[in-house]
A = this chain, B = another copy of it.
Amino acid sequence: MDAHGRGQADPPALSEDDLLAAIRKLLSGEGPGVEVGVGDDAAVVELGKHPLVLTTDLLVEGVHFDRALSSPHDLGYKALSVNVSDVAAMGGSPRVALVGLAVRAPLEGAFVMELYGGLLEAGEEYAVSVVGGDTSRGEGVVISVTVVGEVAKGQAVLRSGASAGDRLVVTGTLGGAAGGLRVARAGPSGAHGALGTAWARVLLERHARPVARVGEGQTLAQAGATAMIDVSDGLALDLSRLCAESGVGARVAEGSVPVEPALLEGASVVGVDPLELALSGGEDYELLATIAPEAVEGTARKLVERFGTPLTDIGEVTEEGLRIVDPDGRERELEPRGWDHFA
């Protein structure tokens, strides 16, 4: 339990208005199109004339994060990233965010301000203005973020457009976030004492500060991706969702799954099966898309050129079933296991 855990001395209590004033000061740098930011009944924002993309995600203490393992700054960063990732998975551009925050009483003012610091850092990275918020006490910390963005009319990439014959492609690498969570849980005094290694730092970063693939999602949309989803709950589970929505199946080539290299390096120390984490670990926030075979190579080249992000062909869309083929050609069922927030 770190300095942010339950064991600390109670910080001085602030009134709601005191806290709002502090948050407002922090958020006073308004962004493009923001006519009214934090501090009034509602925000007023003028976007372009495109359709809106809207998404909301909760991060709940004890379910999505453990305050002993994540700094408030990183939590804020992550809370925005995971929502931006949903906009990215539509091929959209995120614009503004609203934040609802429940914290324990007496109010943890320092925690809230650090969390907002992380939200703002992510906001700068994604060019997203935080325009509204509501903060309340609660039994545990709950962070609710809503992101509103834009997408060109008719260009949103849904989960439902995949057809048999499309290729399955995924950005970046998988399993790193789940590996990082395991490294963090072992802690500095953990048996494997790996915190100082480069691979452990990479994995911890993947867990603590996931990066949403906004430009990559737009490029995939422009390249004609037929369906897209972000890998939040694990490749197998999110692929099963995409397939269910599209009414198709998929066959994944096990040897093609882009397992995070740092996870391969540290897996034996951490004591995990890297392929298992890559398939079912979740929280990588990479994009999984389906695309015409002839578009794969050019799109992969663009993603590397523009963003330095690899795009890997991991298999094909089929008529039905969810299968995985090992390097020896043996096919088995790919179980849609992964992160279930109620499990």
Contact = CB atoms under 8 A, between A and B. Distances in A.
Interface of A: 13-17, 19, 35-36, 39-47, 49, 51-58, 60-64, 86-87, 89-90, 92, 96, 98-102, 105-107, 131-140, 142, 144, 146-149, 151, 153, 156, 158-160, 228-230, 241, 245, 340-343
A38 to B, nearest CB: 11
Contacts of A144: 56, 58, 100, 134, 142, 144
A139 B35 contact: no
Contacts of A19: 342
A40 B159 contact: yes
A133 B99 CA distance: 14
B134 A56 contact: yes
Number of copies: 2
B131 A54 contact: yes
Contacts of A61: 138-139
B13 A90 contact: no
A25 to B, nearest CB: 14
The winner among A44, A107, A160 for most chain B CB atoms within 10 A is A44
Contacts of A341: 16, 135-137
Contacts of A62: 138-139
B146 A40 contact: no
Contacts of A89: 41-42
A24 to B, nearest CB: 11
A45 B52 contact: yes
Given A17-B241, A57-B100, A58-B138, 6 more contacts: A35-B156, A36-B90, A40-B160, A41-B90, A63-B136, A136-B342
Contacts of A137: 60, 63, 341-342
Nearest to A35: B51
